[in-house]
Amino acid sequence: MASERLRSLRRVTFLAAGVFAAASVLPSPVIKSGPTANPAAQHCAAGFAAPVPAGCAANGATGPSSGEPRPPAFGAYLSSGPLGVLRIRGFSDWLDHTEVRVGHTYLPGDKWSNIEGTPGFLGNWAQWRRAKDDRILVVNVPLTERDEGHVPDTEVQQVLRRGAAGEFDQHFRTLAEHLVGLGVPDTVLVLGWEMNGVTYTHRCGPDPDAWKTYWRRIVTVMRSVPGQHFAFDFAPDRGADAVPWPQCYPGDDVVDVIGMDSYDQPAGISFDQQVSEPYGLQDQVDFAKAHKKPISYPEWGLFRNGDNATYMLRMLAWIDEHKPLYNTITDYCPHGVWLCPANPRASALYRAALSGRRGPDQDPNPPVPAAPEPANEPHPLPNPLPARASG
């Protein structure tokens, strides 16, 4: 493991040598001309509790023709609605036409009808996913409405207990039926993400036992829909946060992936600390290995330490070493690399590391969206408190 870590770090460090000098002259992706400014528009791993989604090639599995291990599947959060689908082509162009295999969206958590994943919201994402067999569609799913409504703990506890008793089953059955009907039955579902924090109504802390029972019930209901092959991703915030995330773990039979949201925060933290802190990156890897699950990084990026090229270098090396099922950087300011001009050094390093990774076939164009961006489009919300040692 130590030798592989050194090899991963050396590979990315080699890229860094010329990157920092070039950072000042690389064009901003936000103002890039040409195709990027006007875009037309695998996941194999042992330990899945449910059938593995199709088109696998991650975690060291060999590619379809080269016989060499494919790089870990990656993408970026680029927007939740149709604009996010359109931007995938621009993101790929910026990376010298690298194959972007992961699309990532969030269901709005304002009301149950949106959590059910209407075909109007998910249709463009489903069309993108179906265009190539080895693509991965990742959908974050809130566990309750008013998910960012600053609901007090006492009310959260009541909601979790109602969910555990089955009151909300039909909403998740409807979501599963929508996904299967759209032809994306192998979607990766990040249920109740960052449950160990305090940001969301779907947090675990007010009643961990009810939370775990509720998760188990949701998975059971969604797996009961004929034709589904979903993968369920348990993705806490990095670090201790409000409650140690293992206390929220609902069980191996209802979890397929051990994810983690890991931003460069709090201010002053080193990457080594992010690895070694309680419930940090190393604990995630060890926990996943003990439970025979692949890992993922649904959200990661820059944050409290600005344009931190060292963080970018180390995180890319970490991903290269541990080969998650997928990873998606959060690509808006202050976290991102393509859509955020505030991080030129880290952006140049990310671009150099991932450019030119083409797949076996030419990417088909993403579909042109049929609907405008919804007004209540959800976005990832990392913990905003810089003093907390969490992801």
Question: DSSP assignment of 307-374, as one string?
Answer: S-HHHHHHHHHHHHHH--SEEEEE-STTT-SSS-TT-HHHHHHHHHHHTT---SSPPPPPPPPSSPPP
Beta strand ranges found along the chain (DSSP E):
73-77, 102-106, 136-141, 188-191, 231-234, 257-259, 262-263, 295-301, 326-330
Q: Determine the angle formed by the axes of helices 309-322 and 2-23, rounding to 10 degrees.
A: 140
Residues identified as active-site: 194, 299
Tokens found for residue 322: 């541990």
Closest CA to 267 of 239, 297, 308: 308
Place of tokens 């890897």: 285
Tokens found for residue 40: 């037309």
d(CA 119, CA 125): 10
Residue 102, helix vs strand vs coil: strand
Burial label, 375 (beta-carbon count in 10 A; 0-12, 13-18, 19+): exposed
d(CA 105, CA 328): 10
Residues 6 or more apart from 113 whose CB is under 8 A from it? none
Q: Determine the angle formed by the axes of helices 309-322 and 344-354, rounding to 10 degrees.
A: 30
**DSSP single-letter state for residue 242:** T
Is 191:141 a contact under the CB 8 Å cutoff? Answer: yes
Q: What is the largest CA-CA distance in the chain?
A: 59
Is 312:348 a contact under the CB 8 Å cutoff? Answer: no
Tokens found for residue 353: 């590391």
Is 391:261 a contact under the CB 8 Å cutoff? Answer: yes
Tokens found for residue 60: 């060291």
